[in-house]
Amino acid sequence: MQPIRLIKGFLTVGGWTLASRILGFVRDILIAAWLGTGPAHQAFVIAFSLPNLFRRFFAEGAFNMAFIPMFSKRLESGDDPQGFARDALSALAALLIVLTLAAQLAMPWLVLAMASGFRDSATFDLTVLYGRIAFPYILFISMGALFSGVLNATGRFAAAAAAPVLLNVIFIAAIVAAARMGADVALALIWAVPVAGVAQMALVWWAARAAGFRLLPHRPRVTPELKRLARIAAPAALAGGVVQLNLLIGRQVASYFDSAVSWLYNADRLYQLPLGVVAIAIGVVLLPDLSRRLKAGDEAGGRHSFSRATEFSLALTVPAAVALVTIPVPLISVLFERGAFTAADTAPTALAVAVYGAGLPAFVLQKVLQPLYFAREDTRRPFYYALIAMAVNAALALGLAPVIGFIAAALGTTLAAWAMVVQLWLGSRAMGAAATLDARLTRRAPRIVIASLLMGACLLAGQAALAPLFAPGAQRYLALLLLVGLGMVSYFGLGHLIGAFRLSDFRQAFRRG
């Protein structure tokens, strides 16, 4: 993949992911307006988290991290990639059907594992009901992820990147329809989850079929290739399990504080906007590209891809992190404060946004560094690193919760992410030229940080100047638009001025992308 083609891939995935995140943001604004931070919203958050928790194992997580490099190499060599994909699909489908049936029986215990603070409350029973409705989503979205992996390995990114848009469109439609009919909005939302899973799976299956891969499951069989896939995926699954334990720790802490599950969820949705656009694009495009280059022995090309991915992620996430840390209150008040989401919810949600924002570069850098390991089929070391990061998270979240309250969950998540980045970076030092930074990146990275900090100062000054417009009943939307515009102009202008990047780089990438 040539440099411009690599950037084109980032922009394709990033563009569709941006569309999905914006629609997801509209979805979450509507959910907050109708449900606020009450029991129905908290039950929805936990129930929807359950299939997404297991999704990290079977969808974008361990399975695909092992499947994509193996499929890419078979595709490169012409060694029956379709047969391998069909065998993997059949085994995955069988495993997920068993998991889904077991989860229906074990749902009360799964809810307790996620939010034991709900015990002996009406929220607990509601969460169990919602969880049973939502859980089959894991079956459809994981099979869809395999079809997406096939598409990504062949350099076709658009359909797989567009699939999440369907989820948000269906969610928004469910909210609007339920509200107009006077129906239960929360119940409509939870039924929309499995419906969206079927729609997403159908879209990528059709795209894979159009690309020449007609993938239908058959009776599962154990082949040497699947055994190897399982051996590679197992450590990554364990690492994914550690990551999900971090999520469980945060949810457990939050469930013991009134409305904290909802505060953290809404904060998470805001920082997921830049995280998803960059991190998902990097992870989806970089892993297949590195796998192909390493297979061909192209260390110099691997280094270039790794450096450009790192530069691209820093240039977009460092300023986003600074913005989330400096102006969280205007962001939350303008975007969420309406209907059942009141001013009393704004301050704690904004605090969580600032804490998560400080970890945003770490969350993205993990996505850049992990492909260095997965492209070499090394999934063991990331697992060991994740164990240490989990210990950091548990110590901070559980240890500090009695002292600083619910925000300990966000703080633990952020510092654990940085601990993971440090370990991944140190572990990659012995990987050769493909894991080293080129001169352009080492020159530009500090300047990106400086440009971002200068932008932060401009945002603080702009927030003070626009304060009257942020008052209730004033021009809040206009004020936020002006503030965001100030941030963009100051960052890109100052960044270009001090050599953090060239504006022509972005123009060229977007024009060719």
Domain locations along the chain: 3-437, 439-513
Percent of the chain with pLDDT over 70: 85
C-alpha 140/C-alpha 135 separation (Å) is 10
Binning pLDDT at 50, 70 and 90, where does residue 492 land? very high
- Count of H-run helices and E-run strands, the chain: 19, 0
Side-chain half-sphere of 441: how many Cα atoms within 13 Å?
16
The structure tokens listed for 104 are 């229906």
Calculate mean pLDDT across residues 341-358. 93
For residue 110, is pLDDT > 90?
yes
HEC string of 400-466 equals HHHHHCCHHHHHHHHHHHHHHHHHHHHHHHHCCHHHCCCHHHHHHHHHHHHHHHHHHHHHHHHHHHC
Please give the angle made by the CA atoms of 162, 166 and 168, to the nearest 5 degrees.
115
For residue 509, is pLDDT > 60?
no
Binning pLDDT at 50, 70 and 90, where does residue 480 land? very high
Residue 391 neighbours by CB distance under 10 Å: 13
The structure tokens listed for 360 are 């945003």
Instruction: Count how many residues are written for the chain.
Output: 513
Which residue has better confidence, 146 or 507?
146
* C-alpha closest to that of 333 among 346, 320, 317, 345: 346
Q: By three-state DSSP, how is residue 473 classified?
A: coil
Q: By three-state DSSP, how is residue 222 classified?
A: coil
Give this prediction's pTM.
Answer: 0.75
For residue 96, is pLDDT > 80?
yes
Give the sign of the dihedral formed by CA 415, CA 367, CA 365, CA 20. Answer: negative
C-alpha 67/C-alpha 72 separation (Å) is 8
Residue 151's pLDDT is what? 82
Kindly give, in sequence order, each residue whose CB lies less than 8 Å from that of residue 32, ignoring residues fewer than 6 positions away: 41, 262, 266, 336, 338, 339, 340, 341
For residue 510, is pLDDT > 50?
no
C-alpha 305/C-alpha 300 separation (Å) is 9
Kindly give, in sequence order, each residue whose CB lies less than 8 Å from that of residue 129, ignoring residues fewer than 6 positions away: none
At 24, phi and psi to the nearest 5?
Answer: -65, -35
Residue 84's pLDDT is what? 82
C-alpha 462/C-alpha 30 separation (Å) is 28
Calculate mean pLDDT across residues 463-484. 88
Which residue has better confidence, 395 or 293?
395
Calculate mean pLDDT across residues 173-196. 93
Out of 80-84, 310-314, 376-380, 486-490, least confident range:
376-380
Calculate mean pLDDT across residues 297-312. 76
What is the DSSP-derived secondary structure letter of residue 277?
Answer: I
Amino acid of residue 181: M
Identify any residues that bridge with 338 across adjacent strands, giving them in sequence order: 341
Binning pLDDT at 50, 70 and 90, where does residue 512 land? very low
For residue 500, is pLDDT > 90?
no
